[in-house]
Amino acid sequence: MSDKNLRKAVNCLEQKIDEVQHSKTPSLIILADSKGKYLKRAIFPTDRFITNEISWCCKGGATIRDSYNYVKRNLKTAKSAINRVVYVWLGTCDLTKKLDNGEITLNSYHSSSVDCIVTQYRELSQFFKAKECAVVFLEIPYFSIKIWNVRKGHHQLDKYIEEDLILKSQIERLNEEIKCLNGENKVQAPLFNKDLQKARSHNGTAQYYTNWAQFTDGIHPGSLVSRVWLLKIILNHYRSS
């Protein structure tokens, strides 16, 4: 989407939240890697909805295993977790790895990374269910190995372009698995990637591409799309509670 369309989406989402926020809902936990921090920054002081009811558990570079170990230590006996809704937004740091020079690369050129992520999602899901928490897995947004690496001063462009194509395929397959897992858990999650799509006309036919201008560095969402995604989570939370 363009900035103009995202601003319209923000206004529309805020209005919808105002219409449904009268009912009492359980508080929520957002378990995420560094992407979650960008959503947290999208909270406005004037927000009148449940943003103060969100518990943020976000750590830069966190893999699913890192986050799972953290919640096992910290929620082992925490009664405060009971009847809360956990939104899990992890997987970016499992699809890729960061090298010592700051360059990122694919963890795997095959399907093993996705298979491993889905297995760990199921472990997380069972853990939270045992704590009487509902679990919602959030869609993984597209991100770009090439843009990140070039901005960090690395220039193996042919390699990065190839890896971005494989990464997109892995993200799409992972998001299909997320949709299935949420279906098994009888929950729904908002769609994020359609907010990144922008159309252009080619020979009279609309073609869609990822609007990388909505990212700060090829991986992390900018302030406007972060606001849209935060509001989508809140609206989803109200509607499903």
Average pLDDT of the chain is 89
124 — pLDDT class (breaks 50, 70, 90): very high
Question: Distances from the Cα of 39 to the Cαs of 5, 35, 49, 56, in angstroms?
Answer: 19, 7, 15, 10
DSSP 57: E
| Packing angle, helices 3-20 and 223-240, rounded to 10 | 30
The domain limits of the chain are 3-240
Q: What is the pTM of this model?
A: 0.91
Higher-pLDDT residue of 221 and 19 is 221
DSSP 137: E
Fold of 3-240: Rossmann fold (3.40.50)
C-alpha 217/C-alpha 198 separation (Å) is: 18
Q: pLDDT tens-digit profile of 30-68?
A: 999 999 999 999 998 877 766 677 889 999 999 999 999
CA dihedral (76, 233, 42, 27) positive or negative: negative
Q: What pLDDT, on the 0 to 100 scale, is given for residue 45?
A: 80
CB 113 within 8 A of CB 95: yes
Please name the amino acid found at residue 182. Answer: N
Q: What pLDDT, on the 0 to 100 scale, is given for residue 204?
A: 63
Q: What pLDDT, on the 0 to 100 scale, is given for residue 24?
A: 63
